[in-house]
Amino acid sequence: MVEKISPEAHAEYQRINETDAFAELKSSYLRFVVPLTIAFMVWYLLYVFASNWAPDFMATKVVGNINIALVFGLLQFVTTFGIAIWYARFAARRMDPIADRLREQYEREIER
Amino acid sequence: MNTALIAQASENDTQNLTGGLFIAVVLLTVAITFWASRQNKTAADYYAGGRSFTGAQNGFAIAGDYMSAASFLGISGAIALTGYDGFLYSIGFLVAWLVALLLVAELLRNSGRFTMADQLAYRMRQVPVRTAAATSTVVVSIFYLLAQMVGAGALVALLLGVSSDSAKNLTIAGVGALMIFYVVVGGMKGTTWVQIVKAVLLMGGTILITVLVLAEFNFNLSDLLGTAAENSGQGSAFLEPGLKYGVSLTSKIDFVSLSLALILGTAGLPHILIRFYTTPTARQARKSVLWAIALIGTFYLMTLVLGFGAAALVTGDEKEEIATSGGNLASPLLAEAVGGGPGSTGGAVLLALISAVAFATILAVVAGLTLTSASSVAHDMYANVIKKGDVTEKQEIRTARIAAFVIGGVAILLAIPGKNLNVAFLVALAFAVAASANLPALLYNLFWKRFSTRGATWSIYGGLVSSVGLVIFSPVVSGKGEDPTGKNLSLLPTNIDISWFPLENPGLISIPLGFFFGWLGTVTTKDRDSEERYVELDVRTMTGAGAEK
């Protein structure tokens, strides 16, 4: 093992793991990131597949020389920025407060 | 009279100016390294920069570590030559960061210390998982490093206008010596500051050229695209996907394979992963990825302008030069064009400036790669596998420095004879190995309680062997033949052909295999030891309780 931890620390990890707060932290994290990860991967692969197999659709002009291919590509940037900001806000609002509380409990218990 | 003076700025002056700016970059980075080395005392200082970088600083450093000369010169060059398909490539490089942000960065910061292997070793048997993780770390880093060094030889020679073999050798040796210096003397602190400075230079230079290009078209993107399409000789096809990847069904599937490796590989690149350890908390690690996404995204948006700008604005002899350089000279020659054209002072200054930025880019990336491999050799192999943890921090740091010397030396010795070989595929291969060998093990370890030591080693070796193995039998190694100018398109001489695997990128097959082997190795063992400490890993990754400070 990478580092031996004291029985007290081990017990404290166990205790935190069984709290409702931890269960809520973990499930809200997973409920947020798993669907979102699937969504942005599908969205990205859709773009890759469209570039490969729907050239006529991608070549459609939207305005001037700007075609759907370019708009679709730029939308990938927009969604990437958007998801990043969305996650950061979610984490700060829903995850960080619980994580902070549990970490403080752990530190109080161990450093006593 | 003024115009006469301007016209006198000859090619020679440009090269002197470029050379002068190169020396300035070297002096600046050497000074930074000395300055940063003052406080290198503990192992955490050497490997993780004392975990003292803010989110913003680390975000710049990540961007500096990630955006190689291949993306600065290569992507804008690909756009200049093949239009839209070059842009397609860069989107994967950006979207990939969401995997790092959502699934990896914070959890890794909370559970590891210095290397990728730390996170696995937290609940697995030390010796097998560290050996496996160190092997794949060194393989990925060396592939990436070799591609960068060989590229550096060609690029610097191109930018300085020298083309003899001895000049290229000298460049490779010089770049190698510098990177060894940064890593040995500066450790993570020095390397990080070199990367931050590079990111600032790169963003500054790119913004400048982008604004100048857009100004030529009164900030009308449609006009820029129209002129690019017209001057490319391809018409509107230049603005649509298909010129590069759309030629056949194989090339289309190959592109899907590459895309998968790009989006899944980034979060498995060891030199990116260890950057997350340099922040004081997981929250700062998150912030650093947000910064990185902002910087990298903005940068790739600008490469769009640079690439199409080069197609639209660079004409005549210079246009020929872009094609002969495989696109690498697109950005520098575009800078010359918007600065006033060849022979003008403005053109000469901007050309020299962008060349110096490219040079700084190369230096920062190779330093990061060398540090990553040296850390893994010293921390994983020497301290924990060979010495079983019975070493002082001083011995460990000394070993890391020796390892940096050896790895840097090996890279120089391999890059010099390899300089005329076609090694561009190594970057894509590094992403494929990272996605096939590293990411499955990392994700299983974080999210699958049952995951075992054997599963970890099987997924790492399985992903590594299948990705490298498939590439050996792919067209990039042999059997691709020559292009019309007689340049060998494969790695091996044209009379050898051992290829049977049709794709150039193995990801489509090797990534699922990496995940499959990790699963198989786990479900076929009765070993349940790793489950015991999952509870701790789980609490620690999610809350940061007990994380390294």
Residues B373/B400, Cβ–Cβ less than 8 Å: no
User: For residue B10, what pLDDT band results from cuts at 50, 70 and 90?
Assistant: low
Q: In sequence order, which ranges of chain A are alpha helices (DSSP H)? A: 7-18, 20-53, 55-59, 68-90, 96-110
Contacts of B387 (CB under 8 A, 6+ apart): none
Say whether pLDDT at B296 is over 50: yes
- Which residues does B219 contact at the CB level (< 8 Å), separation at least 6? none
Q: Are B327 and B77 contacting, i.e. CB atoms less than 8 angstroms apart?
A: yes
Q: Report residue A3's pLDDT band, with 50, 70 and 90 as the boundaries.
A: low
**What is the percentage of chain B residues whose pLDDT exceeds 70?**
98
Given CB atoms, is B56 within the 8 Å cutoff of chain A?
no
Cα B239 off chain centre by: 27
Q: Tally helices (H) and strands (E) across chain B.
A: 26, 0
Q: Is B227 on the interface with A (CB under 8 A)?
A: no
| Range with top average pLDDT, B299-303, B329-333, B484-488 | B299-303
The rounded distance, in Å, linking the Cα atoms of B429 and B396 is 30
Scanning the structure block, which residue is given the tokens 């330093």?
A: B367
Rounded to 5°, the CA angle B236-B253-B266 comes to 95
User: Which residue on chain B is closest to A75 by alpha carbon?
Assistant: B91
Report, as an integer, the average pLDDT of B487-513: 89
Class in CATH terms, B2-35+46-543: mainly alpha
Chain A contact set for B122 (CB, 8 A):
1-2
3-state SS string for B468-487: HHHHHCCCCCCCCCECCCCC
Instruction: Work out the burial of residue A7: count CB atoms within 10 Å of its CB; fewer than 13 is exposed, 13-18 middle, 19 or more buried.
Output: exposed
Q: Is A34 on the interface with B (CB under 8 A)?
A: no
Distance from CA of A72 to the nearest CA of B (A): 10
Contact A44 B259 (CB under 8 A): yes
Partner-chain contact B542 A29, CB within 8 Å: yes
B27 touches chain A (CB under 8 A): no
For residue B55, give Cα distances in angstroms to A46, B185, B278: 32, 24, 9
Taking the domains of chain A in order of start, what are their residue ranges? 7-110
Confidence class for position B528, pLDDT limits 50, 70, 90: confident
**Which of B222-231, B351-360, B489-498, B507-516 has the lowest average pLDDT?**
B489-498
- pLDDT tens readout for residues B473-498: 998 888 887 777 777 888 888 888 88
Instruction: Tell me if residue B122 falls in helix, strand or coil.
Output: coil
Which residue of chain A comes nearest to B248, CA vs CA?
A52
Backbone Cα Rg of chain B: 23
- Chain A residues with CB inside 8 Å of B293's CB? 80-81, 84
Q: Return the H-helix or E-strand segment holding B399.
A: helix B393-418
Q: Calculate the alpha carbon distances from B54 to B58, B60, B101, B274 in Å.
A: 6, 10, 16, 15
Q: Of A8, A51, A75, A89, which to mutate for an interface test with B (greatest number of B Cβ within 10 Å)?
A: A51
Q: How far apart are the C-alpha atoms of B252 and B502, rounded to whole Å?
A: 12
The region of weakest confidence among A82-86, B225-229, B321-325 is: B321-325
Cβ atoms of B368 and B137 within 8 Å: the answer is: no
Is B263 within 8 Å of A106 when comparing Cβ atoms? no
What is the tens place of the pLDDT at every residue in B338-358?
998 888 889 989 988 998 998
Smallest CA-to-CA distance from B538 within B33, B110, B100, B56 is with: B110
Cβ-Cβ pairs closer than 8 A, A with B, add up to: 161
186-215 in chain B: CB under 8 A from chain A: none
Residues B401 and B375 sit within 8 Å (Cβ to Cβ) = no
B106-134 pLDDT, tens digit per residue, is 999 999 889 999 999 989 999 999 999 99
Q: Residue type at B175?
A: V
Q: pTM score, two decimals?
A: 0.94
Tens digits of per-residue pLDDT, B397-424?
999 999 999 999 999 999 998 887 777 7
What pLDDT shows up at residue B180?
Answer: 95
Residue B11: which pLDDT band, with cuts at 50, 70 and 90?
low
Q: What is the DSSP letter of B114?
A: S
Q: Report CB contact under 8 Å: B123, A1.
A: yes
Res B484: pLDDT: 75
Cβ atoms of B512 and B263 closer than 8 Å: no
Q: Are B159 and A40 in contact (CB under 8 A)?
A: no
How is residue B491 written in tokens?
A: 């790695």
Identify the CA nearest to B83 among candidates B243, B226, B208.
B243
CA distance B220 to B161: 34
pLDDT tens, position by position, B48-74? 999 999 999 999 999 999 998 877 888
The average pLDDT across B182-195 equals 94
Helix-strand-coil split of chain B, %, nearest 5: 80, 0, 20
- The domain locations on chain B are 2-35+46-543
The per-residue pLDDT for B120 is: 92
What is the tens place of the pLDDT at every residue in B447-472?
Answer: 999 999 999 999 999 999 999 999 99
DSSP single-letter state for residue A67: E
A33 min Cα distance to partner chain B (Å): 6
Over residues B317-322, mean pLDDT? 87
Per-residue confidence (pLDDT) for residue B4, from 0 to 100:
39
For B433, counting Cβ atoms within 10 Å of its Cβ (0-12 exposed, 13-18 middle, 19+ buried), the class is: buried
Mean pLDDT across B214-231: 94
How do residues B373-397 score in pLDDT, each as one tens digit? 999 999 999 999 999 989 999 999 9
Name every chain A residue with its beta carbon within 8 A of the beta carbon of B88: 48, 51, 73
CA gap B321, B164 in Å, rounded: 17
Nearest CA in chain B to A29: B542
* Structure token digits, residue B118: 């730390």
Nearest to A10 among B98, B256, B536 (CB): B536
Is B190 a residue whose pLDDT tops 70? yes
Q: Which residue in the set B259, B283, B544 is minimally distant from A48, CB to CB?
A: B259
In angstroms, the separation between the Cα of residue B483 and the nearest Cα of chain A is 24
pLDDT score of B37 more than 90: no
- pLDDT at position B342 is 85
Q: Which helix or strand (DSSP H or E) is residue A61 part of?
A: strand A61-63
Residue A76 to chain B, least CA–CA distance (Å): 7
Greater confidence, B322 or A39? A39
Question: Is some CB atom of chain A closer than 8 A to the CB atom of B217?
Answer: no
Span B10-23, average pLDDT:
80
How far apart are alpha carbons B126 and B389 in whole angstroms?
A: 10
Q: How would you label B289-299 residue by residue, b for 16+ Cβ within 10 Å and e otherwise?
A: bbbbbebbbbb
Distance from CA of A87 to the nearest CA of B (A): 7
Best B224, B390, B542, B549 member to test A by mutation, with max A CBs in 10 Å, is: B542
Q: Which residue has the higher pLDDT, B267 or B40?
A: B267
Structure confidence at residue A16 (pLDDT): 94
Between CA A98 and CA A103 the distance in angstroms is 9
